[in-house]
Structures are given as C-alpha cells and as structure tokens.
Amino acid sequence: MRRGLAVTLFSVALLLLALGAGLLAGVKALPLPVLLDTMLGRGGDEARLILLGLRLPRVVLGGLVGTALGIAGGIIQAATRNPLGDPGLLGINAGAGLAIVVGLGLFGASGMGAMLALAASGAAAAALAVQILAGAVQGGSAPLRLTLAGVAIGALCFGLTQAVALADPERFDLVRNWRVGSLAGDAGRILPAVGPALVAGFVVAGWLAPRLNIAALGEERAASLGLSIGTTRLLALAATVLLAGAATAAAGPIAFVGLAAPHAARHLVGADERLRLLNAGLIGAALVVVADALGRVAAAPAEIPVGVVTALVGAPFLVLLVRARQGATR
C-alpha cells in the first residue's frame, strides 16, 4: 500500500510538471514568474489572454483526453487479458473516427454533441465487430486473435475514412488536423460537450476496478465469489466506449497513449487494478499534455499535431518499457 501511495504521488507530481510545461510552452514562451503572477491574478492582459484564454483550456482538455485514453487502455487490457489491448490497436478509435467523418460528410452532422454521439456509436460498432471477428478466427491465443481482429477492423475503418474524406476535400479540410489527433480546436466549446461522457466513463471505471481484480482470478473463481463475468465485461465495454469515444470526438485518434500508460502503471504499481487504472490515467494525461507542448514548440510557429508526436514518441517508449520488464523477470 505504501508503494502504491508513493507511486501515485509521483504520478501526480509528474502530471503537475507536465501541466506547467503545457502552460509555459508555445510560440511565445513564458517564464515561470509570469505564470505564477497570472494564476494569482497579478499578470498583464497579454499573459492572461495567452495563459487563461488559450493555453489553460487546451491543457485541461489534453489532460482529460490523456486520462480517458490511459484508463480505457487499462480497462481493455484487464478485461480481455490482452497486454496489447488499446483503443487504437483494437480499432475503437478508428471506428469512432469513421463514424464522425461519415456523419460530417454524408449526413451534414455538426456540433460537438453530434460528434460525441457519432463517436460513441462508431466505437461501439467497431468493438462489437472486433469481438465477432476474433471469435470467428481459429487458432492462436485469444489475445492474439483479438489484436489481429482489431488491426484488421482498424485498417478497414481507416481506409473508409480516407475514402470518404477524399470524396469531398474542401469539406474535410476543416477537420484535417483532427483526423491525425489534435488539441488545436476550441477547447472552451469542446469541454462542456464531452465532459459528461468523460465523467460517466470515469465513474464506471472506478466501479469496475475492484471487480477487475476479482475477474483476474479466473472465471470459475470469480463466479464463486459472486461476480458476474458477463456484466463486468459489458460494463468494461461501456466504459471503454464512453472514454475512447469522447476522447476521439474531442481530439481525434491519438495513438499509443492507451497502450503505453497502462504498461507504465503496471510496471510501477503491479497488478492491482485500482492503483493501475488511477496511475494509467495520470500518466496518460501527462503524456498527452507533454506531447502537445512538444508539438507546439518543435516546429514553431507551425504546429505538429499531438497524435503525430505520440506516435513518434510512444513507440520507442513502449519498447523501453517492455525491455525493462523483460530484464526484471530474468
């Protein structure tokens, strides 16, 4: 318990440092004293506009998106016993993205409420398709079948998304950055729209965490302890759809966060899903906020979308984690 508390405090400190970096970094870099003065109400008009009007909503949005992706990835990995479980690898993000693009292009949908509904529907449909396809495939382990099915469904959704977008380039130029994962949208408008779905997902995840610990004992043992495996998996799917769908609606498909954050959390706190999901959310938030800050300064005054940065940074980060775990087991 002491180790879990210490690791959680470390994750909180890491997130606070990331939030500070996100507020200070940008085309116009601001020193720490200006940040502190502005937060205390003593900053100038320009600093207040930059920090409170532009960067703070963006950093909050990035933190919530990263938290949602980290927890969603942790739930998938625990519920499916698949260490490669991730909203991106299992096609959920791609399904949400396809539904949004189809809704925008073919049905003229607009507004964050419509995008959120489309994202949740697409995420649920993709998750169901992955489960059906994985069940139809013979041979190999269940996690391997699920991962292969997710990659196949994700590739199909991505191809269809590109086809729909290319059919009307002018319309989809407006969402070009969103399609690769970006926090450059109007965070003040996005946050109220996706907030309720994120809160609902977080509540379900908190309720699920101790039950996922029981489910890890095996179906027969869990059933003998009074746990309904079917209900647990259904609620795990619901939480994943809410969290990944809302995150995708808010910022587009962002890769690797839902895979790397739970792996890092498990490496730090072990298999207790209560601590793992909490720390996966904190680490996921820090990853997205830092990746967004890097994207804003690396090519200033232009901007690299956060989804591109996480794809570039997340892959080697995950390789290092896997190597560290292999070394620890030798």
Per-residue pLDDT at 141 exceeds 70? no
What's residue 165's pLDDT? 76
Contacts with 56 (C-beta within 8 Å, 6 or more apart), sequence order: 23
R_g of the chain computed on alpha carbons = 20
- Band of the pLDDT at 327, cuts 50, 70, 90? low
- Please say whether the beta carbons of 125 and 99 come within 8 A: yes
Mean pLDDT score across all residues of the chain: 84
Residue 330's CB is within 10 A of a number of other CB atoms, namely 4
d(CA 88, CA 287): 16
Per-residue pLDDT at 138 exceeds 60? no
Residue 156's CB is within 10 A of a number of other CB atoms, namely 16
What's residue 171's pLDDT? 64
Per-residue pLDDT at 217 exceeds 60? yes
Interhelix angle for 2-24 vs 273-298, to 10°?
20
- Band of the pLDDT at 100, cuts 50, 70, 90? confident
**Residue 169 phi/psi, 5° resolution?**
-60, -35
Q: What is the arithmetic mean of pLDDT over 279-293? A: 95
What's residue 287's pLDDT? 93
| % the chain with pLDDT above 70 | 90
Residue-wise pLDDT for 232-275, tens only, equals: 888 888 899 889 989 988 888 898 899 889 988 988 898 889 99
What's residue 18's pLDDT? 94
What's residue 105's pLDDT? 72
- Band of the pLDDT at 39, cuts 50, 70, 90? confident
Q: What is the arithmetic mean of pLDDT over 184-200? A: 87
Q: What is the arithmetic mean of pLDDT over 218-228? A: 83
Residue-wise pLDDT for 52-69, tens only, equals: 888 899 999 999 999 999
d(CA 195, CA 146): 30
Encode burial over 223-234: b for 16+ CB neighbours within 10 A, e otherwise.
Answer: eeeebebeebee
With helix as H, strand as E and coil as C, how does the chain read?
Answer: CHHHHHHHHHHHHHHHHHHHHHHHCCCCCCCHHHHHHHHCCCCCHHHHHHHHHHHHHHHHHHHHHHHHHHHHHHHHHHHHCCCCCCCCCCCHHHHHHHHHHHHHHHCCCCCHHHHHHHHHHHHHHHHHHHHHHHHHCCCCCHHHHHHHHHHHHHHHHHHHHHHHHHHCHHHHHHHHHHHCCCCCCCHHHHHHHHHHHHHHHHHHHHHHHHHHHHHCCCHHHHHHCCCCHHHHHHHHHHHHHHHHHHHHHHHCCCCCHHHHHHHHHHHHHCCCHHHHHHHHHHHHHHHHHHHHHHHHHHCCCCCCCHHHHHHHHHHHHHHHHHHHHHHHHC
Q: What is the arithmetic mean of pLDDT over 146-165? A: 85
Q: What is the arithmetic mean of pLDDT over 70-86? A: 86
More confident residue, 115 or 276: 276
